[in-house]
Chain A
Amino acid sequence: MTSTDLGLPTVHSGLDLVPTSDEPQNAKEYTSDQEVRWCPGCGDYAVLKAVQSFLPDLGLRRENIVFVSGIGCSSRFPYYLDTYGMHSIHGRAPSIATGIATSRPDLSVWVVTGDGDALSIGGNHLIHALRRNVNMTILLFNNRIYGLTKGQYSPTSEIGKVTKSTPVGSVDQPFNPVSLALGAEATFVARTVDSDRKHLTSVLSAAAAHRGTSLVEIYQNCPIFNDGAFDDLKGPDTKADAIIPLVHGEPITFGARDAETGMGNKALVRAAGGGVEIIETGAARPDQLMIHDAHNPDPTTAFAISRLTDAGVLHQSPIGIFRQVERPTYDDLARRQLTAAREESEAAPEDRLAALLGAGDSWTVL
């Protein structure tokens, strides 16, 4: 076997090849005529509103945007956006989106999925999309429960979770979606919360601009089957201690903010053994404070930070962009090979087909 120098792509933004529109756009144009049918109070409404108001800001031609989803509550999402869309089958949206993105560089491709869809039945497609780095943005709505099938535990539910299918408590170890994505060598991994429109929008902007597969985990409340799962991250009295904000280039601190320095009273420092630990900010030497580096090509530290997420009931979680690095995308490289092959011959396709069929040993009967 030989390897070939594939060259580096010359485009860097996820939207570089997508045609833009000169016309001003608004959220209404992105809203389809279909009645939204999520339960009252569902976190999905907030995400839909944020996406409908954020998409016009991209300035793309609306017909060049495609949303693909799988199965689950969140997967109804494409019906409510007036773009091209496909509501596919359970777990398979990343593979369908791979076909779309690879065959059409002029499309902005989005996947909407949930914790069951992406991490259970579709786990294989998720990790392979991430490792290939196909140019698409995956919004993973994580409510830590199966909603559409009415309340069974999901692959992100905590051990001990009592649900319809686990009356005496779940014994399943949950996935941490961010850790999983980092392990699959994803190039863009972020986490945000449904109720924080500003943060959600900023993460979506960065994800759309990223060339490659962007995974955005969105903590999303299910008021019917898992209400309050993220309350600590949202409560005015609790969120300062629950959210560990990740901002590239800044020290990672949380807890009560110091009015002068702006830093929280708890800080992340490197721990023996390669991990990360939390200490009192006041007890840390200035050079001990970890400065968040999302662009670090080595994912080790990002992974260590992701482990600060509670696997059980959620009292603490890092929020923000864990990792954002450049790596050639599968679709760019695949198209490059096609372009190179096309440039080898200027003959018409029919003539090249005739040459192909007639190649090799042949004989003529008169």
Chain B
Amino acid sequence: MPKQVQQLDRVVIRFAGDSGDGMQLTGDRFTQESAVFGNDLVTLPNFPAEIRAPQGTLPGVSSFQVHIADHDIMTPGDAPDVLVAMNPAALKANLGDLPKGAAVIVDTHDFTARNLQKAGYADSPLDEGPDGPLADYQVHALDLTGMTVEAVKEYGLSRKDAARAKNMFALGLVSWMYGRPTEPTTAFLERRFAKVPPIRDANIAAFTAGWSFGETTEAFVSSYEVRPAPMPPGTYRNITGNLALAYGIVAAGVRSGLPVFLGSYPITPASDILHELSKHKGFGVTTFQAEDEIAGIGAAIGAAFSGSLGVTTTSGPGIALKSESIGLAVALELPLLVIDVQRGGPSTGLPTKTEQADLLQAMYGRNGEAPVPIVAPQTPGDCFDAALEAARIAITYRTPVMLLSDGYLANGSEPWRIPEITELPAIDPAFATEPNHGTDGDRGFWPYLRDEQTLARPWAVPGTPGLEHRIGGLEKGEGHGNISYDPANHDLMVRTRQAKVDRVADSLPPLEVDDPSATEGQGAKVLVVGWGSTYGPSAAAIRQVRRAGYHVAQVHLRHLNPFPHDLGRIVRSYDKVLVPEMNLGQLSLLLRAKYLVDAVGFNVVRGLPIKATELAEVIGQLVADAEGVTVDLSATPDEEGIA
């Protein structure tokens, strides 16, 4: 008898196992299957900094959470509906995140006395009854490893190699549960293991066996369907933030006609941008893996001086090391992209976890008055557009630009509509080719003679005859660019560099304020202002508050420096301004300082994205205060459900 198929509007699944169990790959495959199926989705990989932490221990647990839906969603989900736990440690580490009634699929194979002890269980939680830790969940205790070994025995693998395919068995089972297409994963395994046929065949067999097990076993009475989500027309692919950022840099090279030069030193979570760009030499992209962070940016500055689009990629600790060089680029007034994929700090901090605590470092982390434009992407796919925008500003205004991504955007993914190349902005390097100063008989080149509109100086690259000039970190005389210690000149130059960065705001479109009730004549009193990856949780929380019948407005900033011209007017027109951030209030500080508004922070620094339900409660409280009403969200479907 065919099994029953239940309709769901969305589901959150978390795959968890030892860091050697292939959970990232499993989650990524499930994501790709769902993307091709047409769901909207958001992912949250979460893994330890250790490459192979001690096996079977809590610190060694690696997980991948994916949220799929038949409608537009904003976050990877606050809590999983389904947990797949490949060992006792994975169960223990993730159980606390599950709501009552969640489904738990457990591989029982590793529930040995030794592994239970490593995970901190005195007795197996699987053996405990209604008082045990699993009492509130639908538990499917299955020997996934045993079934995998059985399914692949014909390929003659060692027991260890055979057992390694257990992640594909689990993927097959969960793929059956949610009616995922299998072809993408089968094709992927054929490509991935093309050179080792027994491994290839064993993985495909394990994947197929997992699917078949779901279909035949009585352990699962029904499967589920999450239908494709309606999306605007276009061709889509699933993309992570780091990949989108790398593509954005390649696109900036193509659209500006400039060769790209990346100087970089490996650092988590930014290294994947270096890896990706090193594959694109055919686009004229040079990648230089430097001896340290400072040499990475130094080489990028050298390449920028020579007429390339200079780029350096790093995370917070690397920005600290590059600070003096960024200051040099400010003084030289050369185009440069400085990409900071933020992680938990201070110091080495939490290399694989996300945070937004480098905003003030980006703003102020240099000696002297050294203003730098700052842009931030808001979703993984948006990293592509943010890279292009950073390149536009850098090249147009001859300035280093900071791009602040973060670990969540870098490794998380979402469906991304592939743009037409002609939609992308064209960027004109407008190199100087002629002398710009003096009279007929005595024409010369002044490297600091500025464009009246942008205040940008001319970019004259070596090899251009007649424009030979010297630049450097010593203060320059306005116009001629020779060393100047003149007090009035220094005052002028400090103010001019600031004015140049401020003028970037002239090129920005008006902010988009999302305040649907305003058009109904009853504008919201509370405004949520965000930046970077808090976009998803903010939008999801705001939906929940609105569904409950309350008014709240949202504005999300792409540009952190300079702020758009209309931001001051906008933040002053609301009674309460809430700033959710994964730091202790850095954007709040800037808004308070610049606009004298009483911005309130919602600050979480757990190394994970802000939970939308928690943020919704905070918004609700502010709405209650501002409007003098009682706000109760408890009856409202949670943040991502359909009202």
Residues of A within 8 A of B (CB): 19, 32, 34, 61-66, 68, 71, 78-79, 81-89, 92, 95-104, 106-107, 124-125, 128, 334, 337-338, 340-342, 344-345, 349-350, 352-354, 356-358, 360-366
Contact = CB atoms under 8 A, between A and B. Distances in A.
A107 B286 contact: no
A99 B468 contact: no
A86 B299 contact: no
Interface string B216-237: 0000000000000001111111
A89 B35 contact: no
Given A99-B300, A363-B236, A86 B470 contact: yes
Contacts of B251: 353, 357
A361 B294 contact: no
B441 interface: no
Contacts of A360: 237
Contact of A63 (B327, B464, B482): B464
B35 A361 contact: yes
Contacts of A350: 254, 421
Given A79-B470, A84-B468, A68 B302 contact: yes
26 contacts: A19-B463, A63-B463, A81-B470, A85-B471, A86-B302, A87-B471, A87-B474, A88-B472, A89-B327, A95-B298, A99-B305, A99-B308, A100-B306, A102-B303, A104-B463, A107-B463, A128-B290, A342-B282, A354-B421, A356-B250, A357-B421, A361-B35, A361-B36, A361-B184, A361-B238, A362-B418
A103 B306 contact: yes
Contacts, number: 206
B295 A89 contact: no
Contacts of A86: 302, 305, 332, 470-472
A87 B325 contact: no
Contacts of B465: 61-63
Contacts of B291: 95, 124-125, 128
A354 B310 CA distance: 23
A363 B470 contact: no
A334 B290 CA distance: 13
B254 A125 contact: no
B468 A338 contact: no
A124 B237 contact: no
Nearest to B308: A103
B301 A96 contact: yes
B38 interface: yes
Nearest to A79: B470
Nearest to B243: A360
A79 B468 CA distance: 11
Contacts of A63: 462-468
B295 A125 contact: yes
Nearest to A19: B463
Contact of B473 (A89, A353, A362): A89
A103 B38 CA distance: 43
B307 interface: yes
B298 A99 contact: yes
A341 B236 CA distance: 27
A85 B418 CA distance: 42
A104 B290 CA distance: 18
A106 B463 contact: yes
B316 to A, nearest CB: 21
Nearest to B32: A361
Contacts of A100: 302-303, 305-306, 462
B283 interface: yes
Nearest to A62: B468
Contacts of A82: 468
Contacts of A341: 280-282
B292 interface: yes
B462 A92 contact: no
Nearest to A98: B299
B306 A104 contact: yes
Contacts of A366: 233
Interface in B2-18: none
Contacts of B421: 350, 353-354, 357
A135 B291 CA distance: 17
Interface in B462-498: 462-474, 482-483
A358 B282 contact: no
Nearest to A354: B421
A97 B302 contact: yes
A365 to B, nearest CB: 5
Contact of B306 (A19, A81, A107): A107
A274 B137 CA distance: 75
Contact of A357 (B286, B418, B464, B472): B418
B38 A96 contact: no
A86 B421 CA distance: 36
B295 A124 contact: yes
A99 B299 contact: yes
Nearest to B466: A63
Contacts of A106: 463
A102 B467 CA distance: 22
Contacts of B468: 62-63, 82-84
Nearest to B295: A95
Contacts of A358: 235, 237, 418
Contacts of A357: 247, 251, 418-419, 421
B233 A88 contact: no
Nearest to A84: B462
B288 interface: yes
Which among B38, B303, B483 has the greatest number of chain A C-beta atoms within 10 A? B303
Contact of A104 (B238, B250, B282, B462): B462
Nearest to B263: A99
Contacts of A88: 298, 301, 328, 472-473
Contacts of A344: 282
Which among B285, B305, B307 has the greatest number of chain A C-beta atoms within 10 A? B305
Nearest to B469: A84
A333 to B, nearest CB: 11
A352 B237 contact: no
B324 interface: yes
A95 B286 contact: no
Contacts of B419: 357
Contacts of A356: 247, 250, 280, 283
Contact of B261 (A99, A342, A352, A353): A99
Given A99-B303, A358-B237, 19 more contacts: A19-B463, A63-B466, A66-B305, A78-B470, A89-B325, A92-B298, A95-B302, A99-B261, A102-B303, A103-B286, A104-B462, A107-B463, A128-B295, A342-B281, A352-B282, A352-B283, A357-B247, A363-B35, A364-B234
B482 A34 contact: yes
A61 B466 CA distance: 11
B483 A95 contact: no
B284 interface: yes
Contacts of B280: 341, 356
B259 interface: yes
B578 to A, nearest CB: 34
Given A34-B482, A89-B328, A102 B261 contact: yes
A125 B332 CA distance: 21
Contacts of B483: 34, 79
B36 A103 contact: no
Nearest to A340: B281
A129 to B, nearest CB: 9
Given A344-B282, A357-B418, A99 B234 contact: no
Which among B38, B263, B282, B327 has the greatest number of chain A C-beta atoms within 10 A? B282
Which among A83, A85, A337 has the greatest number of chain B C-beta atoms within 10 A? A85
Contact of A364 (B236, B288, B301, B332): B236
A46 B421 CA distance: 56
Interface string B399-437: 000000000000000000011110000000000000000
A89 B301 CA distance: 12
Contacts of B473: 71, 87-89
